[in-house]
Structure 1
Amino acid sequence: MGDSLIKPRQDTAQSTEAALHWMIALEDKPDDAEVATAFEAWLASSEDHVKAWAEARHVWKVLGAAHEAREMAGRRDHMRRSSSKTPMARGTRRRGYFTASILAVATICVAAVFLQDIRIWLQADYSTGVAQTREIRLEDGSTIHLGADSAIEVAFDQASRNIRLLTGEAYFEVEPDAARPFRVDAGDVDTTVLGTAFDVRMMAEGTAIAVNRGRVAVASSTAAEVSGAPLEAGDWVRVSHAGKVERGRDVPDLAGGWRSGMLVVKDRSVGEVAEALGRYYRGRIVLADAAIAGQRVTGVYNLNEPIGALTAVAVAHGAYVHQISPWLAVVSSW
């Protein structure tokens, strides 16, 4: 994919940076009439500025950075009283505010991911990091292909084989054992098999199961209707946290297709694709426009280039990817 697709348009990039600059300036000087007047003039000068400001506020709210910026502003007030007040010094400080606040946003992103990882690591028997996959051979001869940024807990005994998917995605190749059913618990959804190969994925919206070969029985505490006929090769089912059930059938080999390093999606939402790509991106992806998040996508994307793949998805829907820092990518319609 060419660099031209990865870089946002110059004018929108400038609007994005300017909007974040004004966000910081207004947080820093909430009662300064001169700053407020200059901001209003900037906002009224372009429709792009209005859009950039709206999305900057949304991103700031999503990341929880406004509170952090206010705390930083308070500390800077003390420092400012003893610093030079020349125009050059003010300009230097203003650039410093922008840099420091972007670093604060990045720190929040990293901290949120790190705290989540700690909780999972304490529970997990096996886990992977961002953009890392792992093949696990179990004592019964079964194999688990653990997806990126994923974790599982294993509990085997003489009567059962239980796996708990804590986060992410895993593809299972199960050795038959009629005396010990193989069960995968993923949130509100349980999958039980004797011998088969299937994929289980936990998402923000719920859980998805797809079968490559064999048969699996699916049950859910939130969706009784999912406990029907077993899934067979090519079948898939998705159960939302609210209990909504969606069923379908695809080429069996699509189940666990991510093991090849390619993400194959068929009629899925941009939001879901962004979530999948996020497990291969060392930062956070924010969808600033709900309308874009709900658009449907079909395609094949390289998991080794998550931002390139995200940009391809965005461009197909007239949107853009703004990399605000190495740890933050924002998808917007401008």
Structure 2
Amino acid sequence: MLLDKLTPSNAPDTLAPAMQAAVEWEVRLRAEEVSQVELKQFDAWLRADPSHDHAWARLQERLGRFRALQGAPGEAVRRALQEPSPTRRRMLKAGAGVAAAVLAGVGTRQLVKMYSLDADYHNGDFAPKTVTLNVGVPLTLGAGARVYAAPERPQGNLYLASGQIATDGRASIKQPLTVKTSHGLVRTDSARLSVDALRRHTVVAVQGGDAILSVHGGNQVRASDGSAWSLSHSRIARMPETSADIFSWTAGTLVVMDRAVPDVVEAVGRYYDGFVRFPDSAMSRRVSGVFPLDDPKAALRQLAGGLGLSLTFYGKALAVASEV
């Protein structure tokens, strides 16, 4: 059950695309008639990379569609899909016996790396969690947050692998606080920070002081009190939201202004106990609004409705938006 609550720290590069594809295949294979061409395409996708097989098995475990498998490899599912219904059910049941071997084959090291089980600070729940750094700074962790302390400077040098955090600048800081993400870093002596490591960029909000923002391309900006910024691999840009808008996530609300849809889907998706799929046609659009993070289903309905899409929930495991 622990793995169901974890968000992979390497999602932008490996597991997230595989899981997204697995969700798409699940929707396609729900159709009453699945062609042989589609089955061959599914077979090719499943064999192409071990992460595909893992993502498919994990999705099936979550959905409960093939409950007998409970994590069995994609080979059993693949064979079963090609058989008539009675034979299919028998094969799925037979596949359950190999579940333990599959999980053992993944390996402890791989699981630790994939799901950031070795993170110094993490939040596997949906409610914000507060911890205190060794320098006395309270740190609020949003859903799915994974934070590592640098070995050489564990007190004030953090790496945010995934999710969103907020620091409290009112506490006494004996040394500058630095928060790094895959896109860049933010450094401050006293300001309160909100740092959100999204797939496309990192969103930073600054309150009660200034902060220095840097990205890998060498660009650097001094962020003033009350401002919000976007950090990508080579660009720092001011965002239309205020810092108060960005910090509202700590009170259970997501406030966005002219924000790309993938940002909103990702942010709300952290608080939804399942997988979220919006059509590609919607992912290039931008939205503004106030979304309740403490009611992610309502937030997803609000987002889908504003985009003119219908939204279907498959139990608690899957939410699929589609063109009306």
**TM-score under structure 2 length normalisation:** 0.67
Q: Which has the higher helix share?
A: 1
Structure 2 residue 289 is the aligned partner of structure 1 residue 306 = no
Distance, in Å, in 1 between the alignment partners of 2:214 and 2:237 is 14
Corresponding residue SS for 1:311: helix
Structure 2 residue 261 is the aligned partner of structure 1 residue 262 = no
- Match of residue 145 from structure 1: 140
Tell me: CA distance 1:318–1:161, structure 2 relative to 1, closer, same or farther (3 Å).
Answer: same
Q: CA deviation at 1:295?
A: 1.8
Structure 2 residue 132 is the aligned partner of structure 1 residue 127 = no
Percent identity over the alignment is: 22
Tell me: CA distance 1:290–1:28, structure 2 relative to 1, closer, same or farther (3 Å).
Answer: closer
Larger RCO of the pair (alpha carbons < 8 Å, separation 6+):
1
Distance, in Å, in 2 between the alignment partners of 1:265 and 1:187 is 22
Which residue identity does 1:307 align to in structure 2? Answer: K
Residue of structure 1 aligned with 2:32, choices 18, 22, 37: 22
Structure 1: give runs of 5+ residues left out of the alignment: 1-15, 31-59, 81-89, 101-111
How many pairs are equivalent? 258
Tell me: CA distance 1:161–1:23, structure 2 relative to 1, closer, same or farther (3 Å).
Answer: farther
In the TM superposition, what are the counterparts of 1:1-334 in structure 2 within 5 Å? 20-22=30-32, 24=34, 26=36, 71-75=76-80, 119-155=114-150, 161-174=156-169, 175-177=171-173, 180-222=175-217, 224-225=218-219, 227-228=220-221, 230-241=222-233, 243-287=234-278, 289-334=279-324
Tell me: CA distance 1:158–1:285, structure 2 relative to 1, closer, same or farther (3 Å).
Answer: closer
- Match of residue 49 from structure 2: none
Tell me: CA distance 1:211–1:117, structure 2 relative to 1, closer, same or farther (3 Å).
Answer: farther
Corresponding residue SS for 2:190: coil
Corresponding residue SS for 1:304: coil
Matched-pair contact (CA < 8 Å) for 1:160–1:181: no
- 1:47-80: per-residue Cα shift (whole Å, max 9, x none)? xxxxxxxxxxxxx99x7689x7774352577xx7
- 1:266-319: per-residue Cα shift (whole Å, max 9, x none)? 1112221110011101111112x2221122211111112212211111111110
Which residue identity does 1:201 align to in structure 2? Answer: D
- Match of residue 51 from structure 1: none
Structure 2: give runs of 5+ residues left out of the alignment: 1-25, 41-51, 61-72, 94-105
Tell me: CA distance 1:211–1:157, structure 2 relative to 1, closer, same or farther (3 Å).
Answer: same
Distance, in Å, in 1 between the alignment partners of 2:237 and 2:157 is 25
Q: Which runs of 4+ in 1 moved over 4 A?
A: 16-19, 23-30, 63-66, 68-71, 90-94, 114-118, 155-160
Tell me: CA distance 1:158–1:191, structure 2 relative to 1, closer, same or farther (3 Å).
Answer: closer
Distance, in Å, in 1 between the alignment partners of 2:145 and 2:260 is 21
Corresponding residue SS for 2:213: strand
Matched-pair contact (CA < 8 Å) for 1:237–1:248: yes
Corresponding residue SS for 1:22: coil
Corresponding residue SS for 2:32: helix
- 1:211-252: per-residue Cα shift (whole Å, max 9, x none)? 122110011113x33x03x111221221224x2432135433
- Match of residue 44 from structure 2: none
Tell me: CA distance 1:318–1:216, structure 2 relative to 1, closer, same or farther (3 Å).
Answer: same
Tell me: CA distance 1:29–1:277, structure 2 relative to 1, closer, same or farther (3 Å).
Answer: closer
Which residue identity does 1:238 align to in structure 2? Answer: S
Which residue identity does 2:156 align to in structure 1? Answer: R
- 1:159-203: per-residue Cα shift (whole Å, max 9, x none)? 9721111211101113354x6211111113111110011110111
Tell me: CA distance 1:172–1:324, structure 2 relative to 1, closer, same or farther (3 Å).
Answer: same
Which structure has the larger Rg over C-alpha atoms?
Answer: 1
Tell me: CA distance 1:298–1:188, structure 2 relative to 1, closer, same or farther (3 Å).
Answer: closer
Tell me: CA distance 1:160–1:28, structure 2 relative to 1, closer, same or farther (3 Å).
Answer: closer
- Match of residue 84 from structure 1: none
Distance, in Å, in 2 between the alignment partners of 1:128 and 1:333 is 34
Matched-pair contact (CA < 8 Å) for 1:158–1:180: no
Farther-moved stretch of structure 1 (21-30 vs 319-328): 21-30
Which residue identity does 2:79 align to in structure 1? Answer: G
Distance, in Å, in 2 between the alignment partners of 1:189 and 1:268 is 20
Tell me: CA distance 1:17–1:176, structure 2 relative to 1, closer, same or farther (3 Å).
Answer: closer
RMSD: 3.7
